[in-house]
Amino acid sequence: MTLLQNILAPLLLPPLGLVLLGILAGLVAARRAGRAWPGLLAAISGCGVLLLATPLAAGLLVHSLQPEMPPAGLPPAAIIILGGDMTEGQQGADIGQLTLERLRAGAALHRANGLPILVTGGVLSAGRPPLASLMARSLQADFGVTARWVEPRAADTRENAAFSAALLREAGVPAALLVTQGWHMPRALDAFARQDFPVQPAPVRIARAPRLGWSALAPRADHLLESWFAIHEWAGRAFYALRDGRVARP
Protein backbone atom coordinates (compact mmCIF):
# COMPACT_ATOMS: atom_id res chain seq x y z
CA MET A 1 0.00 0.00 0.00
CA THR A 2 2.83 2.40 0.86
CA LEU A 3 4.57 1.70 -2.45
CA LEU A 4 1.32 2.34 -4.32
CA GLN A 5 0.87 5.64 -2.48
CA ASN A 6 4.45 6.66 -3.29
CA ILE A 7 3.81 6.00 -6.97
CA LEU A 8 0.31 7.47 -7.30
CA ALA A 9 0.72 10.62 -5.20
CA PRO A 10 3.42 12.26 -7.37
CA LEU A 11 1.50 11.29 -10.52
CA LEU A 12 -1.72 12.95 -9.35
CA LEU A 13 -0.08 16.15 -8.07
CA PRO A 14 1.05 18.97 -10.38
CA PRO A 15 3.00 19.15 -12.58
CA LEU A 16 2.99 15.42 -13.38
CA GLY A 17 -0.77 15.16 -12.96
CA LEU A 18 -1.19 17.81 -15.67
CA VAL A 19 1.29 15.97 -17.89
CA LEU A 20 -0.70 12.76 -17.45
CA LEU A 21 -3.88 14.61 -18.35
CA GLY A 22 -2.16 15.97 -21.47
CA ILE A 23 -1.15 12.45 -22.51
CA LEU A 24 -4.74 11.23 -22.18
CA ALA A 25 -6.05 14.23 -24.11
CA GLY A 26 -3.48 13.63 -26.83
CA LEU A 27 -4.47 9.99 -27.20
CA VAL A 28 -8.18 10.90 -27.38
CA ALA A 29 -7.42 13.56 -30.01
CA ALA A 30 -5.36 11.07 -32.01
CA ARG A 31 -8.32 8.68 -32.17
CA ARG A 32 -10.97 11.25 -33.05
CA ALA A 33 -9.16 13.71 -35.29
CA GLY A 34 -8.81 13.20 -39.01
CA ARG A 35 -5.04 13.59 -38.70
CA ALA A 36 -3.68 11.57 -35.82
CA TRP A 37 -0.09 12.84 -35.66
CA PRO A 38 -0.68 16.04 -33.59
CA GLY A 39 -2.41 14.07 -30.85
CA LEU A 40 0.21 11.32 -30.95
CA LEU A 41 2.99 13.90 -30.80
CA ALA A 42 1.40 15.47 -27.71
CA ALA A 43 1.06 12.06 -26.05
CA ILE A 44 4.65 11.07 -26.88
CA SER A 45 5.96 14.39 -25.57
CA GLY A 46 4.08 13.89 -22.31
CA CYS A 47 5.47 10.39 -21.97
CA GLY A 48 8.94 11.84 -22.48
CA VAL A 49 8.40 14.25 -19.59
CA LEU A 50 7.22 11.40 -17.35
CA LEU A 51 10.26 9.35 -18.33
CA LEU A 52 12.64 12.20 -17.43
CA ALA A 53 10.88 12.43 -14.05
CA THR A 54 11.77 8.84 -13.13
CA PRO A 55 14.74 8.14 -10.82
CA LEU A 56 16.03 5.70 -13.46
CA ALA A 57 16.26 8.22 -16.32
CA ALA A 58 17.47 11.07 -14.13
CA GLY A 59 20.03 8.82 -12.43
CA LEU A 60 21.39 7.49 -15.72
CA LEU A 61 21.68 10.99 -17.17
CA VAL A 62 23.51 12.36 -14.14
CA HIS A 63 25.70 9.26 -13.78
CA SER A 64 26.72 9.58 -17.45
CA LEU A 65 28.43 12.86 -16.57
CA GLN A 66 30.65 11.48 -13.80
CA PRO A 67 34.27 12.22 -14.72
CA GLU A 68 37.09 9.75 -14.64
CA MET A 69 39.76 10.67 -12.11
CA PRO A 70 42.72 12.10 -14.02
CA PRO A 71 46.20 10.81 -13.20
CA ALA A 72 47.92 12.60 -10.35
CA GLY A 73 50.01 15.53 -11.52
CA LEU A 74 51.38 18.54 -9.71
CA PRO A 75 50.35 18.63 -6.04
CA PRO A 76 47.49 21.11 -5.56
CA ALA A 77 48.37 24.31 -3.72
CA ALA A 78 44.92 25.91 -3.62
CA ILE A 79 41.19 25.15 -3.72
CA ILE A 80 38.98 26.63 -6.46
CA ILE A 81 35.26 26.82 -5.67
CA LEU A 82 33.08 27.59 -8.69
CA GLY A 83 30.00 29.75 -8.19
CA GLY A 84 26.68 28.23 -9.18
CA ASP A 85 23.42 29.99 -8.32
CA MET A 86 22.02 32.92 -6.38
CA THR A 87 18.80 33.49 -4.46
CA GLU A 88 17.10 36.14 -2.32
CA GLY A 89 17.54 36.00 1.45
CA GLN A 90 16.49 38.21 4.35
CA GLN A 91 19.43 40.50 3.70
CA GLY A 92 18.90 40.64 -0.07
CA ALA A 93 20.96 38.70 -2.60
CA ASP A 94 22.46 35.50 -1.24
CA ILE A 95 24.06 32.29 -2.46
CA GLY A 96 21.83 29.49 -3.75
CA GLN A 97 21.72 25.83 -2.78
CA LEU A 98 24.20 24.61 -5.39
CA THR A 99 26.74 27.26 -4.38
CA LEU A 100 26.24 26.49 -0.70
CA GLU A 101 26.99 22.81 -1.31
CA ARG A 102 30.21 23.77 -3.06
CA LEU A 103 31.25 26.15 -0.28
CA ARG A 104 30.61 23.49 2.36
CA ALA A 105 32.78 20.99 0.48
CA GLY A 106 35.50 23.57 -0.10
CA ALA A 107 35.56 24.57 3.56
CA ALA A 108 35.88 20.90 4.56
CA LEU A 109 38.83 20.49 2.18
CA HIS A 110 40.44 23.61 3.61
CA ARG A 111 40.16 22.26 7.16
CA ALA A 112 41.60 18.92 6.04
CA ASN A 113 44.62 20.22 4.13
CA GLY A 114 44.98 23.93 4.97
CA LEU A 115 45.06 25.01 1.33
CA PRO A 116 43.93 28.59 0.55
CA ILE A 117 40.62 29.11 -1.25
CA LEU A 118 39.69 30.96 -4.43
CA VAL A 119 36.00 31.70 -5.08
CA THR A 120 34.86 32.68 -8.56
CA GLY A 121 31.57 34.04 -9.91
CA GLY A 122 30.45 37.24 -11.57
CA VAL A 123 27.22 39.24 -11.65
CA LEU A 124 24.28 36.95 -12.46
CA SER A 125 21.61 39.67 -12.72
CA ALA A 126 21.63 43.45 -12.99
CA GLY A 127 21.73 45.32 -9.71
CA ARG A 128 23.08 42.34 -7.76
CA PRO A 129 26.61 41.96 -6.36
CA PRO A 130 29.06 39.48 -7.90
CA LEU A 131 28.41 35.93 -6.79
CA ALA A 132 32.04 35.59 -5.65
CA SER A 133 31.53 38.40 -3.12
CA LEU A 134 28.51 36.60 -1.68
CA MET A 135 30.48 33.35 -1.62
CA ALA A 136 33.34 34.97 0.30
CA ARG A 137 30.85 36.44 2.78
CA SER A 138 29.13 33.08 3.33
CA LEU A 139 32.43 31.24 3.58
CA GLN A 140 33.48 33.54 6.42
CA ALA A 141 30.12 33.82 8.21
CA ASP A 142 28.92 30.22 7.87
CA PHE A 143 32.18 28.25 7.95
CA GLY A 144 34.71 30.54 9.58
CA VAL A 145 37.01 30.39 6.55
CA THR A 146 38.48 33.37 4.71
CA ALA A 147 38.82 33.24 0.93
CA ARG A 148 42.29 34.35 -0.14
CA TRP A 149 41.23 35.18 -3.71
CA VAL A 150 37.86 36.56 -4.87
CA GLU A 151 37.32 36.50 -8.63
CA PRO A 152 34.19 38.62 -9.36
CA ARG A 153 34.08 38.83 -13.18
CA ALA A 154 33.36 35.34 -14.56
CA ALA A 155 30.02 35.01 -16.32
CA ASP A 156 30.26 31.28 -17.12
CA THR A 157 32.39 28.18 -16.60
CA ARG A 158 34.79 29.14 -19.36
CA GLU A 159 35.53 32.48 -17.69
CA ASN A 160 35.67 30.84 -14.25
CA ALA A 161 38.61 28.85 -15.56
CA ALA A 162 40.30 31.68 -17.46
CA PHE A 163 40.18 34.26 -14.67
CA SER A 164 40.93 31.79 -11.85
CA ALA A 165 43.94 30.34 -13.69
CA ALA A 166 45.31 33.84 -14.27
CA LEU A 167 44.95 34.78 -10.59
CA LEU A 168 46.60 31.61 -9.35
CA ARG A 169 49.47 31.76 -11.83
CA GLU A 170 50.16 35.31 -10.71
CA ALA A 171 50.27 34.06 -7.11
CA GLY A 172 52.66 31.25 -8.04
CA VAL A 173 50.14 28.44 -7.57
CA PRO A 174 50.95 25.59 -10.02
CA ALA A 175 47.80 23.43 -9.53
CA ALA A 176 44.58 23.34 -7.53
CA LEU A 177 41.67 21.24 -6.33
CA LEU A 178 38.44 22.02 -8.16
CA VAL A 179 35.10 21.99 -6.32
CA THR A 180 31.75 21.76 -8.13
CA GLN A 181 28.90 19.24 -8.51
CA GLY A 182 29.81 15.92 -10.13
CA TRP A 183 27.50 16.51 -13.10
CA HIS A 184 29.20 19.87 -13.79
CA MET A 185 32.76 18.59 -13.35
CA PRO A 186 33.47 17.36 -16.93
CA ARG A 187 32.72 20.76 -18.45
CA ALA A 188 34.70 22.50 -15.70
CA LEU A 189 37.70 20.19 -16.18
CA ASP A 190 37.60 20.84 -19.90
CA ALA A 191 37.52 24.61 -19.32
CA PHE A 192 40.63 24.46 -17.13
CA ALA A 193 42.37 22.12 -19.57
CA ARG A 194 41.92 24.79 -22.25
CA GLN A 195 43.80 27.17 -19.95
CA ASP A 196 46.59 24.58 -19.46
CA PHE A 197 46.07 24.89 -15.72
CA PRO A 198 46.21 21.56 -13.82
CA VAL A 199 43.27 20.85 -11.51
CA GLN A 200 42.21 17.77 -9.58
CA PRO A 201 38.45 17.18 -9.26
CA ALA A 202 36.86 17.31 -5.82
CA PRO A 203 33.23 16.73 -6.83
CA VAL A 204 30.18 17.40 -4.68
CA ARG A 205 27.34 14.84 -4.75
CA ILE A 206 28.90 11.94 -6.63
CA ALA A 207 26.11 10.11 -8.45
CA ARG A 208 25.81 6.34 -8.21
CA ALA A 209 24.30 4.24 -10.97
CA PRO A 210 20.55 3.85 -10.28
CA ARG A 211 19.25 0.49 -9.11
CA LEU A 212 16.56 -1.23 -11.13
CA GLY A 213 13.20 -1.77 -9.45
CA TRP A 214 9.66 -0.45 -9.34
CA SER A 215 10.69 2.55 -7.28
CA ALA A 216 13.18 3.56 -10.01
CA LEU A 217 10.29 3.78 -12.50
CA ALA A 218 7.99 5.93 -10.33
CA PRO A 219 7.96 9.50 -11.73
CA ARG A 220 8.50 12.38 -9.31
CA ALA A 221 8.70 16.06 -10.15
CA ASP A 222 12.00 16.67 -8.31
CA HIS A 223 13.78 14.24 -10.63
CA LEU A 224 12.90 16.49 -13.56
CA LEU A 225 15.35 19.04 -12.15
CA GLU A 226 18.13 16.44 -12.07
CA SER A 227 17.37 15.51 -15.69
CA TRP A 228 17.38 19.19 -16.65
CA PHE A 229 20.81 19.76 -15.09
CA ALA A 230 22.23 16.72 -16.87
CA ILE A 231 20.75 17.65 -20.27
CA HIS A 232 21.97 21.23 -19.77
CA GLU A 233 25.50 19.93 -19.18
CA TRP A 234 25.43 17.67 -22.24
CA ALA A 235 24.18 20.63 -24.31
CA GLY A 236 26.96 22.82 -22.91
CA ARG A 237 29.61 20.23 -23.76
CA ALA A 238 28.19 19.92 -27.27
CA PHE A 239 28.40 23.70 -27.67
CA TYR A 240 32.03 23.66 -26.49
CA ALA A 241 32.79 20.91 -29.02
CA LEU A 242 31.21 22.85 -31.90
CA ARG A 243 32.89 26.10 -30.90
CA ASP A 244 36.33 24.84 -29.92
CA GLY A 245 36.57 21.50 -31.65
CA ARG A 246 36.85 19.23 -28.61
CA VAL A 247 34.98 18.22 -25.50
CA ALA A 248 35.96 16.63 -22.21
CA ARG A 249 35.19 12.96 -21.71
CA PRO A 250 33.35 12.01 -18.50
One digit per residue, pLDDT tens: the chain, 250 residues?
Answer: 444 445 555 554 445 555 666 666 666 665 665 566 566 666 667 777 777 788 887 877 777 777 665 655 678 999 999 999 998 877 788 999 999 999 999 999 999 999 999 999 999 888 889 999 999 999 999 999 999 999 999 999 999 999 999 999 999 999 999 999 988 888 899 899 999 999 999 998 776 666 777 677 777 777 787 787 778 777 877 776 776 665 444 4
User: Which residue, 88, 137, 114, is CA-closest to 97?
Assistant: 88
pTM as predicted: 0.72
pLDDT value for 163? 97
CATH number listed for the domain at residues 79-201: 3.40.50.620
pLDDT value for 55? 80
